[in-house]
Amino acid sequence: MADVNQPQDFDLFTLREEHELLRESVRSLVETKIAPYAAAVDQEARYPQEAHDALHAADMHAIHIPEQYGGAGADALAACIVIEEVARACMSSSLIPAVNKLATVPLILAGSEELKQKYLRPVAEGRAMFSYALSEPDAGSDAGGMTTRAVRDGDGWRLNGVKRWITNAGVSEYYTVMAVTEPGIGTRGISAFVVEKSDEGFTFGAKEKKLGIKGSPTRELYFDDVWLPGDRIIGEPGTGFKTAMRTLDHTRVTIAAQALGVAQGALDYAADYVKQRKQFGKPIAELQGVQFMLADMGMKIAAARQLTYAAAAKSERNDPDLTFYGAAAKCFASDAAMEITTDAVQLLGGYGYTQDYPLERMMRDAKITQIYEGTNQIQRVVMARQLLKG
């Protein structure tokens, strides 16, 4: 594992030699141990165990966890590079490091030292995975409208409710769950908790049948009088929503990296194809219309990469304008990914529409990046509010 633990001294971002070595290492691992299974994972809608094992063996499944809790302590840019390179071949597999980060950042930001030691270490060591539970059937974009309740019970809490759209549910051992602890005061009455898969009264719904990322299970979580010890709360009561929003500021950058990866994978495949495919007696890569499409695809990826890496640098420093940059990176990169994967399918013509080629999968997978961790309409709301604040 490359050393990516040195202090940051960049204005926006600097790709050091260690980052480039990390990229080479991840790309090699992906090409040999993840890409060969990507199509089967999608077609069989099964968890990418091969990717899970490979990422764990290379210590890339949760690279962001600090060293004091057994992790690699990699910076935000390094975490983005890992997710980007995995998504380049298999979006479902890229959700292993992405969701481990999403669900553990609340502990890193607001958890007690005891909570961090107890739950970050098993994730860092590959003995457990973490999922994030914010959304509900009637509380998606309006996350503050959640109804899941946690009521004090002795020296602990009694949890009841339902969460929906939970990535890697059933596979993860631990769950960061947001619940209302003081009704009637809006988001100031929401708290965050750690729930364990083995907790009595905690069960899962059926796997969702999805358009894309079929290898990553998405299920509902059901809490029926689940009793949680008092030390399972993340931060102080009533701070959960603030922690959730701070978390998304950081982790929307990883969704941007995921979108960037699938877009790059689609462009790479399409560019190689058009050099081989002949029509009208010559490779279609020589046709100006095709070249213009490739140029636009490459331009959008270059812009998305610059914005994503700049946002990652701001995440590392916790800059005051991270909220804007995180939303902007996620929104721009995911919109670009949808356009680029669609154009890549077009460049392959009828072949692009078949499952014999990976581009239809990439196009289906790319769509979710415009939806989860806040729809791109919500990202625009977030950005506009930041601009209006000055």
Domain boundary among 124, 159, 190: 124
Please compute the mean of the pLDDT values over residues 303-320 and round it to a whole number. Answer: 96
Do residues 311 and 211 share a domain? no
pLDDT at 390: 86
Give 213-262 pLDDT, tens digit per residue: 999 999 999 999 999 999 999 999 999 999 999 999 999 999 999 999 99
Same domain, 234 and 261: no
- Give yes or no: 373 in active site: yes
d(CA 345, CA 341): 6
- 365 and 313 within one domain: yes
Predicted confidence (pLDDT) per residue in 315-338, tens digit: 999 999 999 999 999 999 999 999
Task: Provide DSSP, 300-368.
Answer: HHHHHHHHHHHHHHHHHHT-TTHHHHHHHHHHHHHHHHHHHHHHHHHHHGGGGGSTTSTHHHHHHHHHG
Q: Residue 4: is its pLDDT beyond 50?
A: no
Look-up: residue for tokens 């640098």?
Answer: 313
Tokens of 203: 């069960």
The three-class DSSP label of residue 162 is strand
10 has a pLDDT exceeding 50? no
> What pLDDT was estimated at residue 77?
97
CA count, 13 A, side-chain hemisphere, 371: 12
Share of the chain above pLDDT 90, in %: 96
Confidence class for position 281, pLDDT limits 50, 70, 90: very high
- What is the tally of structural domains in the chain? 3
pLDDT one-digit tens code per residue, 109-127? 999 999 999 999 999 999 9
CATH number of residue 95's parent domain: 1.10.540.10
Domain membership of residue 10 (yes or no) is no
Q: In CATH, what number is assigned to the domain containing residue 208?
A: 2.40.110.10
Per-residue pLDDT at 359 exceeds 60: yes
CB-based contact 329:311 (threshold 8 Å): yes
The pTM of this model reads 0.95
Is the residue at 81 inside a domain?
yes
- Whether 4 is in a domain gets the answer no
- Percent of the chain's residues with pLDDT above 70: 97
pLDDT for position 13: 75
Residue of 85, 136, 360, 373 with catalytic role: 373
Residues 79 and 173 in one domain: no
Q: Answer whether residue 274 shows pLDDT above 70.
A: yes
Query: In this structure, what token pair is assigned to residue 4?
Result: 């990516």
Q: Which pLDDT score is estimated for 12?
A: 64
Is 209 inside any structural domain? yes
Backbone angles phi, psi at 68, to 5 degrees: -70, -10
Residue 73 lies in a domain: yes
CATH number, residue 283:
1.20.140.10
Q: How sure is the predictor about 56, in pLDDT bands with cuts at 50, 70 and 90?
A: very high
Whether residues 332 and 365 fall in one domain: yes
Burial of 383 by CB count in 10 Å (0-12 exposed, 13-18 middle, 19+ buried)? Answer: middle
Same domain, 370 and 252: yes
pLDDT(5) > 80: no
**pLDDT average, residue stretch 40-53:** 98
Question: Across all residues in the chain, what is the average pLDDT?
Answer: 96
Helix locations, the chain, DSSP H: 17-33, 38-44, 49-57, 76-87, 91-110, 113-124, 240-276, 288-317, 322-348, 359-367, 376-389
Q: What is the pLDDT of residues 189-218, one digit of tens each?
A: 999 999 999 999 999 999 999 999 999 999
pLDDT given at position 15: 86
Task: Return phi, psi of residue 160, to 5°.
Answer: -140, 140
Residue-number span of the structural domain to which 111 is assigned: 17-124
What secondary structure letter does DSSP report for 179?
A: E
Buried b (16+ CB within 10 A) or exposed e, 344-369: bbebbeeebeeeebbbbbbbbbbbbb
348 shares a domain with 252: yes
Of 344, 268, 342, 258, residue with least CA distance to 304: 258
Q: Do 256 and 345 share a domain, yes or no?
A: yes
Confirm whether 5 is domain-assigned. Answer: no
Is 8 within the bounds of a domain? Answer: no
Q: In whole angstroms, give the CA distance from residue 331 to residue 335.
A: 6
Given 108, 124, 140, which residue is the final one in a domain?
124
> Would you say residue 8 has pLDDT above 80?
no
Residues 112 and 153 in one domain: no
User: Is residue 373 included in any domain, yes or no?
Assistant: yes
pLDDT at 14: 79
Same domain flag for 233 and 312: no
Pair 320, 275 in one domain: yes
Q: Which of residues 78, 106, 124 is at a domain's end?
A: 124
Distance, in Å, from the CA atom of 241 to the CA atom of 193, rounded to the nearest integer, reads 11
Residues 29 and 114 in one domain: yes
